[in-house]
Every structure is written in C-alpha cells, then in structure tokens.
Structure 1
Amino acid sequence: MRAIGLGLASALFFAFTFILNRSMESSGGSWMWSSSLRYIFMVPFLIIIVASRKNIRQLFVVMREHYLLWFVWSFVGFVLFYAPICFAASYAPGWLTAGTWQFTIIAGSLLAPLFKERLKTAEGTAVRNAGIPLKSLFVSFIILLGIIVMQIDQAQHLPFFQLVLGTFPVLAASFAYPLGNRKMMSICGGRLDTYQRVLGMTLSSLPWWIGLSIAAFFTAGPPTPVQTMQALLVAVSSGVIATVLFFRATEMVRLDMQKLAAVEATQSMEVLFTVIGEVLFLSIPMPSLLSWSGIVLVMIGILIHSYMTHRPQREQKQNISI
C-alpha cells in the first residue's frame, strides 16, 4: 500500500503538467518550449538532491558502463513521452490529454513480454519471458472504461482533427514512458536509487531537449516570461516531485509484474485531479453526471488493484534484462 500511496501522490503532481501545459498553449506558447524547458529546469534541482546524498560519482560510474543504452532509453522514456504530450496540448484540453494518457495502464501490462523474469520455486530457478498479467490487465480495462465514459460527453464537442492530434501522440507516449522506465530499471539492476536514476535519464536526454529548444527559438522565438515561469512550476511539481515519487513506487515493486501494473494504474487518478484543477484554475465547466460516473469506475478499479497487491504470491519473481 505504500507503493500505491506514492503512486497516487505522484498522480496529483503529474496533473499539474496537463493543467499548465494547456494554460501555456492557450496563451500562445510553443509546445517545443513547454517540453524542453521542463527538463532543462529539472537538471539543477536533481543535481542538488543527488549531490547532497553524495551519490553523483556512483551515478556516473554506472552510466559509463552502458552510456549508449542510457542515451537510447532515456530518449524513449522522457523525450518520446513528454514531447508528444506537449504537442497534443496544442489541440486538446487538459482533461482529454490526461484521459488519453491513461492508456498507459494497459500499455504497461502489454509490454511485459518484452522482459524476462526469474522464477524461484521449490524445484529450483527458471528463467522465462514474462507473461501479460491477465488479472491486472482485466482491472486496467475497468479503469480505462471509466476514462472513456468520462470523455464521451466531452469529446463530441471537439472537431475531428483536434481529437486526432490530441489523442494519437499521447497514445504513443503511453507506451514510451513505461517502456523507458522499465528498461532503465533493468539496466540499473538496483544499483542506483530513484534520484540517481531520474538525474541520469535527464542528463542523458538533455541533448535532445537542447536541440528542441534551438528549433523552438528559430520557429517561435524566445519563450515568454509567463511560459518560462509555468515551465519551471511543471519542472518542480511534475518533473522532480511526481517523477521521483512514481519511480520510487515502481522501484519498490519492480520484482513483481502484477504489483508493478497496479502501481502504474494509480496514474489514472490524474484525470480526476486534472478535472478539478481545470475547474478551479481555468474555469472549465463542471463535468456532467456521465463523466462523474466514469470517475467512480476509475476509483473502483484502483481499489481492486490495491486489493490484488495484498494477495499472497506463491512464486518469487525477479526481472532481468533482455
């Protein structure tokens, strides 16, 4: 339950991403600045945290062992995750972006066969491809159904092209984020703590963000002071606090695919937090009764996931890299 609690807390701080990104796009800011500034601003905060724990040297030692893999999977986990979400915010409101993002609940379960697991049983140890956790996947569909119900009433008011451009980039991001996260956990092998891993992935993806900021400068000009301040808020709330909380939660249960899927499912609460935030700060209309029924489905799914994590496991599982 501690991992579930950390996941819910991260969902609250992640919700600021969708609210502030929509605010920045509504005020005319470029999506390229919104995405690149967040990670550029994250660097000094994370360096201070890791340096205060005297763990920077160990991080660089581990990064040098597989520097190319760090570069590739940080690009997948951070760049292919956040740049599409910021792009989608140009065409859709925050609730739609946050709702579509919840497809990552199912995406995380579907990615399980890309990893191997070591099973320790009475007969010995065996290594096999991890199977899709069907029970967790079924409950994830309940949560996703709730998200779809929440959006039915809202999506019919959007033009088709906005629905497409506000949806498909986020669907791609929903696969990239758990894939990059899990691959980096596998590469680190438990030798780095959460702060080190987030800093390492941020530094490894920094060349991509610098390149995107250069493109933004020549196509849209420099960022406005308002966008810069809002990007800083996103960097602190979502980039540092939420990311560290979520990575810590997944690190706690990384040896069990079913529990890992349950922690990732807590991110569905971003929809509820985003709706509340947009009502309070962006003055959007209150969701309809149909949307609230979807919220109830999401919460039921979270409760079922939490119950499933308490069921005793007959086999001890351990992920290893492929």
Structure 2
Amino acid sequence: MKSTHVIFLCLGSSIYHMELGNDTQISEFLLLGLSDVPELQPLLFGLFLSMYLITVCGNLLIILATISDSHLHTPMYFFLSNLSFADICFTSTTIPKMLVNIQTQSKVITYAGCITQMFFFILFAGLDICLLTMMAYDRYVAICHPLHYTVIMNPQICVLMILVSWVMSALHSLLHSLMASQLSFCTHVEIPQFFCELNPVVHLACSDTFLNDVVIYLTAMGIAGSSLIYVLYSYSKIVSSIRAISSAQGRYKAFSTCASHLSVVSLFYCTSLGVYLSSGATQSSLLSAAASVMYTVVTPMLNPFIYSLRNKDIKRALKPLSKEEK
C-alpha cells in the first residue's frame, strides 16, 4: 500500500507540474482598459484618437521646423526634436492598440504582442527620461556657463549623448522584458490597464516575482529617481544664476523657460514614479490607470504647446511650413 501511495503521489506531482508548465504557455492577455461601460466606449475612442492625432501632428511639426530652419540647429532644439520623436513613438506603442480594441470590442492582446509592447514602452519611456535630463543640463550650461556653452555642448557631444541614451534605454528595456518573459502565468491574465505595463503584468504571475520587484524598484530609483534629483539640482543652480541677472526682461524670459520645462518634468516624473513605486498597484488600479494616462498620453500631447508654440523661434520656423500647406 505504501508503495502504491508513493506511486500515486509521484504521478499527481508530475501531472501538477505538467499543468503548471502548460499554464506558462498562455497565448493572450486581456486588457481591461479604462472603463467597461458600453456607453463610454465611443467617447473614449474619440477622445484618445483626438489626443493621439494632436500628439503626432504637433510633434511632427516640431521635427520639421527644427530640420528646415537653420537657426534652430542648436543643442536645445536638437534635443527637443529627439524628444518629439520619442514622444510620437511612446504614444504609438499604446494608443493604436487601445483604439483597435475599443473599435473591435475586444480586450485581447497576444502574449508575444504584450511582451513586445512592454519592451518598446519601457524603451521610449527611458528615452524620454534621458532627454528631459539632457535638456535640463543644456539649460544649466547655457545659463550658468554661457561663455563655455559652445565648447561643452558641441555637436559631437550632443550626438554622443543621444546614442548613449538609446543604448541605456534599450538595455534597460531588454532587461525588464526578458525577466517578465521568464515568469509563469496561470489562469488570471486580466491586466487592469489599457496597455501592457510592467508592474501590472509582473503581479499577474503565479511564480515568484521578488527579483522582478527588486529590479523594478532599483531601476526606477536609479534611472528616474537620480534623473529627477539632477534636474532639480540643475534648476536650483539656474535659479541662483537668474537672480543675478540685472535685466528684468532677461530674468522673466529665463524664468518662463524654466517653468515650462519644470512643469512637464514634474508631470512626467511624478505620475510615472507614482505608478511604479506604488506598493498597492492592484488595490488602486483606477488611480494607476489615470496616472498612466497622464504620462503616456497627456504629457506627450502637451510637449508641442509647452516647449514650442510659445517659442518665437519655432513660430518663425513654422510660418513657411503653413504657407506651403496652403
């Protein structure tokens, strides 16, 4: 009897592991989106489609303006055009899929599609962080060390900074995507988001996610946290330098530039860090989704207005483009 009992235990254990192994080969996830109310779906579709088109068109105009006008071939506008490109790609990783799901009344995203979306989302989010940091450094050098600006921010250095940002962001994204792909997922595959965000996906796993959580926290603090600290430090130096400017008009112009950049930095960093550092992600899914909308959709859409449409140089560069369209 004992031997028979042992055999049944072994067979049961084998079947359990086979079933668990089959559970890891899930073919799709379900994106719950922002609302399940049918009456709200057309409103959400129209709202997010409009925001996406504004984001793409506005940022494309920035890129075209900086390319066409030789007066804008400076480090500040070079970083700005790269930020616009990153913002277009950033929103394009999430919003089109969300619009397709609303239109087809489907919440499905394939497993491979989810991991791929996660990779590109983290890639362009990291690139945004790097570019915002570089733009703060550019303003710091321009205001605090104006005599050395052309030497420090030469074209070779600017291109190198962009390349390093791409490599760092790609490695960071690859790390999280590979770690997420190694997790085991059971029957519960509903993501309380409108896209495959890292934190919700990781917390759906039925295997141990301790290492994933540690890496998420460390990279969030190491990349986004340190970048935010540097931005705040650089702007504290900028404010000290601006206060020493004798011209009231010069002080106003410098303060206006700082306020615009800091508003976008605060919006992006606070919402993104809030999502990734919130310990109760599953208990505050609605709040997390709202914060995600702020830094994935609203911030990239506001980029053309805050950085460019109030800028006289950009307006001058856009005039020939508007005449050509007419």
Structure 2 length-normalised TM: 0.32
Structure 1 length-normalised TM: 0.32
Whichever of the two has the greater Rg, that structure is: 2
Higher relative contact order by CA 8 Å / sep ≥ 6: 1 or 2? Answer: 1
